[in-house]
Amino acid sequence: MMTHLKDGLFFKRLLTVVFLLLTQCCAGQSQVGGPPQSVLATIGGDIILPCHLEPSVDASGMTVEWSRPDLDPRFVYVWRDGVELESKQHPSYKGRTAVPIVNLTHGDISLKLSNVKISDEEKYRCFVPTLGTESTVELAVGVAPFIDISSERTDSSEVVLQCESKGWYSQPEVFWLDAEGNLLSAGPTETVRGPDDLYTVSRRLTVMESDNFTCRVQQKNINKMREAQIYVPDDFSNASNHIIIISSSLVVVSIIVILAAVFARRWKKNKIKQKEYVRPLKHEVELEDPRDKLRSELEKSKREWTEKDYNAVTRFNRDDELMAKRELEKKIRELEKNLKEIEEEIKTSRV
């Protein structure tokens, strides 16, 4: 009986010693630690995915693995035997990842990711096989959106402010605030998702008094926010009325100018037509006088030809009379030709 009691006490003491030895052994071993919240990055920028050893030890001689379980191959970055193993790396991360050797010597195994893409948004595993511990880092990717505010006056004394923001990776919320930061009642938020999967949101606010107004666009899940301000002056209403009056005057002046241009064009067109009508008529009158003269001369020449023909028969000097007759016939043909040309020209001018 006493022997069994002694054996039991010895066994308990042995377990206590082993437990203390294990506790001391494990107390000096580093653990892998990471951030409790997700890390936000913007498209095209650089980001650090935090991961470090606690307590810090030189990790340059250890194997460090960064991976994504959804990829094949899954490795984003591998450090082994003092060098980076690019052959193990997924092609989409080639040339975009790094863990500086200086950081490794201080136990900082954070991953630097360059030229962030939308497809990079995922959970990343930081693992040190030698220690058998790991940490998970979630990366959220957004864009650098911008805000544009415009204003317009309605028929009444109201002013409508419109806030539009483009380039949001996930759907944001839009708020209007006054100068004191109080939320204002505004119209519904209009949301459009483009072919690039980026969101464009807009919201209108109707105001009737002078003040500073702020448009705030934010994403709750990644705690991202953009703001823009606009000031509505007291004389905005009067200025708008002047603009309306000036615009109306310009419209009236424009109408008068257009009517004057149309009238001038028609008057010029009618004048051209009148000239085109008078020109051939004048030309015809100018041709009538030489035509009449040719006719008169032609008739005279024909009478002379008849007399020459008679004289050539009754007189003794027939040769001279015949010669004169031939000359007269030639002249008659020339007169007839000229008369015909003038009459043709008169006909052409009438067409």
- Look at residue 343 and tell me if it is in a domain: yes
- Look at residue 8 and tell me if it is in a domain: no
- Look at residue 4 and tell me if it is in a domain: no
Task: Select the more confidently predicted residue: 281 or 307.
Answer: 307
Quick one: pLDDT band at residue 288, thresholds 50, 70, 90?
Answer: low
Global pTM reads: 0.42
Predicted pLDDT of residue 313: 45
Residue 79 domain boundaries: 32-142
Give the rounded percent of residues in the chain with a pLDDT score beyond 90: 33
Quick one: pLDDT band at residue 22, thresholds 50, 70, 90?
Answer: very low
Residue 338 is part of a domain; what is its CATH number? 1.10.287
The answer on 127 and 48 residing in a single domain is yes
Quick one: pLDDT band at residue 15, thresholds 50, 70, 90?
Answer: very low
Predicted pLDDT of residue 308: 56
**What is the identity of the amino acid at 291?**
R
- Look at residue 160 and tell me if it is in a domain: yes
Quick one: pLDDT band at residue 25, thresholds 50, 70, 90?
Answer: very low
Predicted pLDDT of residue 194: 86
Query: For 89-112, what is the mean pLDDT?
Result: 94
- Look at residue 21 and tell me if it is in a domain: no
Predicted pLDDT of residue 273: 57
Query: For 28-36, what is the mean pLDDT?
Result: 67
Quick one: pLDDT band at residue 188, thresholds 50, 70, 90?
Answer: very high
Predicted pLDDT of residue 91: 95
Residue 59 is part of a domain; what is its CATH number? 2.60.40.10
Domain boundary residue, one of 142, 168, 199: 142
The answer on 341 and 281 residing in a single domain is yes
Could you give the C-alpha distances from 228 to 148, 175, 177, 241, 325, in angstroms and in order?
8, 11, 10, 27, 112
Query: For 123-134, what is the mean pLDDT?
Result: 92
The answer on 334 and 268 residing in a single domain is yes
- Look at residue 244 and tell me if it is in a domain: yes
Quick one: pLDDT band at residue 247, thresholds 50, 70, 90?
Answer: very low
Domain boundary residue, one of 79, 108, 142: 142
The answer on 150 and 138 residing in a single domain is no
Question: Is the model's pLDDT at 299 over the cut of 80?
Answer: no
Question: Starting at the edge strand that comes first in sequence, how are the strands of the sheet with 224-232 ordered?
Answer: 173-177, 211-219, 224-232
- Look at residue 105 and tell me if it is in a domain: yes
The answer on 249 and 158 residing in a single domain is no
The answer on 150 and 77 residing in a single domain is no
Provide the number of structural domains found in the chain. 3
The answer on 127 and 98 residing in a single domain is yes
The answer on 157 and 190 residing in a single domain is yes
Coil, strand or helix at 134: strand
Domain boundary residue, one of 142, 173, 207: 142
Q: Tokens at residue 216, please?
A: 């705030």
Cα separation, 196 vs 221, in Å, equals 20
Give the rounded percent of residues in the chain with a pLDDT score beyond 70: 66
- Look at residue 11 and tell me if it is in a domain: no
The answer on 125 and 42 residing in a single domain is yes
The answer on 320 and 225 residing in a single domain is no
The answer on 335 and 311 residing in a single domain is yes
The answer on 266 and 336 residing in a single domain is yes
Residue-wise pLDDT tens digits, 132-184: 889 999 998 876 667 888 888 776 678 899 999 887 877 889 999 999 999 99
Sort strands 64-67 and 75-80 into parallel, antiparallel or unpaired: antiparallel
Predicted pLDDT of residue 140: 84
Task: Select the more confidently predicted residue: 135 or 209.
Answer: 135
Burial 77-86 (b: 16+ CB within 10 A, else e): bbbeeeebee
